[in-house]
Each structure stands twice: as structure tokens, then as C-alpha cells.
Amino acid sequence: MIHSVYSKSGVKLLALLFALVAQDGGNLPFGAWRRVSDSPIISPRGDGGESAGTFNPAVILRDGKIIMLYRAQDRSGTSRLGYAESADGVHFSRRSEPVLSPEKDYEKDGGVEDPRLVQFGDTYYLTYTGYNKKDAQLCLATSKDLIHWERKGVILPAYKGNWNVRWTKSGAIVPEKVAGKYWMYFLGTGADNTDQMGLASSTDLLHWTEATSVPVLPVRAGKFDSRVAEPGPAPIVTLKGIVLIYNGADDKLVYRTGVAVFDRNDPRKLISRTDVPIFGPEKEWEKVGQVPNVVFVEGMLRQAERYLFYYGGADTYIGVAEARAIP
């Protein structure tokens, strides 16, 4: 499961791979990751809304095409959500205008950031961060076509959590009901200034309440996720568990990718998590950018016999990795 960030040493790669397989007990539905492209698939362009960064994408299938919503940032630091589509998952055509721009007070100046997507019935649910250069809060919008969005407002306000005492971000909604409820993993900031993962539940996908009094995925001292443990895309629900890709950062704020597995019948119960990252910054464009040394996975989908994983590189570019799907 370890990416070629470790491939300079075949012995080290195999040792880490065997350790990961043993640790996860065959719970993961995908194999080892590899980059589909050595260069970014989407990069900043022009002098306008996409001039500073295009990164942190969400993806979903619609009418046989892969639709991507991504964070597009201008040089003043304001973010909007861009829209792109692809037939092969690598070559994307972009709309000239964003599909979501800051309008509300909780979005002004900072913008709308870091989307995640999930579909229930004929409705798409978009969680995103509303940032006004003072506070960041987890927000929700819905759509029937992925272009026209109806805001539902802040769903987990900052400073009002059970244990998360500051900002809220990064809502990864479980794509099916569990125990009669909808569930969402999210990021909150604890009193010790670490960013850890919480869990919320809902009966209607619109109104959310924290489901625990402590983080469900805490940070771990001395590991790749010692400073941040942040949800990635919507989880994969399997017979063996709820598989959640997450973004971990160490004390130097190097971002790498981990995987956590939660109980299939109780999203609060952690079964296993990776002790070593499965993916990390290796290419120059993942190491150098607005924020150095970052791979940040926010988009994932299955295409035939493979999974595709879309990520931001150095808060500037978008890349894609793939892994074989395991039955």
C-alpha cells in the first residue's frame, strides 16, 4: 500500500507494505497507489480567479462523465469553486466561470473552499468551508445539476462544539445510512490547537449534531498525523467497515495520506488506521507552492477496476493517483 515515495529502497517498501497489510487485515478495498500523471492535471491560469491556485478537488460521476469541483484561488486570497469535466479521469475541460462564489457574510473575502461531494437520490450534497478571513466554518449546499447550488448555511458553527473549540471544516458524509441516520466525519480544532476528526449525525442531511464528546480520530504524537487528522473524500462503505481516507500532517505540517476503518454498524467505533502514510509529497509541484510539502486528497471514485484519487499539491495544483480495486 505504500506509494513510491519510499520506492528508492525496495526493501523498505516491502517491509512497510507487509506491515500495512498485516495491520489492516485485508479491510481496504484498494491496493497500492501510483500517480497516473507525473505532472498536474489542473494548474493555475490567467490573471483572475484561478491565478494563484487550483487545488483540493471533489469528484463525482454524472451521465458517464467525471465532474470535478475544485478550489480556485485568486491573488488576493479569495477562493471560489471551479467546475471541470472529463471522460477519462485525467484530461479535464474547465468552465470559464465558477459555480460557487462567496456571497454570504461567513464567506466574504476568504471565500468558499475545499469541497466534498456525495449524492443521495437525484440531489448532490456539497460540504465546503466558508471563510471570511476571520473564521472558518463547515457549510452545506445542494444541487440537482452540480452547477446551480442552493446554500443551506453553516451546519457546524465554529466555537460551539463538544470538544472542537475553534474552527470547523472538511465534512465527509458517509454515502449511505447507518443505524437509521446519516453520518459525517469533520475536522475540528481542539483546546491543544491540534486539528482532529469528529463525527456528526443527521436525520435529513441538512441539520447536523455532533455525535461524540471526543474526537473519533485523534492525532498521534510522533507519527505522520501528529498535528492534523482531517477527513478526505466521502468514505467507502464495505461489508468489513467504513473506509475513510484522511489527510494527516506532522509537527512540520508535511501532509500525507492515511486510511482509517470504522465499524460498519457504528461509525463512532474505530477498527484500524494506518501507522505509516500510503501517499506523500514527492514531485516538485507537491513540494513547492503556496503551502510546501502537501498532498491533500479530497476526491475519489471508482472507475471500472480501479479507484481514482484526486488531490491538491502544495495548495497550488491538482493531481491524480490510481489503485487497483480489490473485490
Q: What pLDDT is attached to residue 21?
A: 46
pLDDT lower than 50: segments of the chain: 1-23, 25
Is 128 in a helix, a strand, or coil?
A: strand
The backbone torsions φ and ψ at residue 197, rounded to the nearest 5 degrees and listed phi first, read -100, 130
pLDDT, tens digit, for every residue of 53-88?
Answer: 999 999 999 999 999 999 999 999 999 999 999 999
Residue 314 structural domain? 4-324
Give bridge partners of residue 162 from the DSSP assignment.
none
Q: 175-200 burial, b for 16+ CB within 10 Å, e for fewer? A: beebeeebbbbbbbbbeeebbbbbbb
pLDDT, tens digit, for every residue of 209-255?
Answer: 999 999 999 999 999 999 999 999 999 999 999 999 999 999 999 99
Q: What pLDDT is attached to residue 302?
A: 95
Query: What is the Cα–Cα distance from 224 to 257, expressed in whole angstroms?
Result: 9
Looking at the 3D structure of the chain, how many domains does it have? 1
Q: 258-296 burial, b for 16+ CB within 10 Å, e for fewer? A: bbbbbebeebeebbbbbebbbbbbbbebbbebbbbbbbb
Using CB atoms within 10 Å of the CB of residue 319, give its burial: 0 to 12 exposed, 13 to 18 middle, 19+ buried.
Answer: buried
* CA angle, residues 73, 77, 80, in degrees to nearest 5: 35
Q: What pLDDT is attached to residue 24?
A: 55
Provide the whole-model pTM: 0.92
CATH code of residue 91: 2.115.10.20
Q: What pLDDT is attached to residue 327?
A: 84
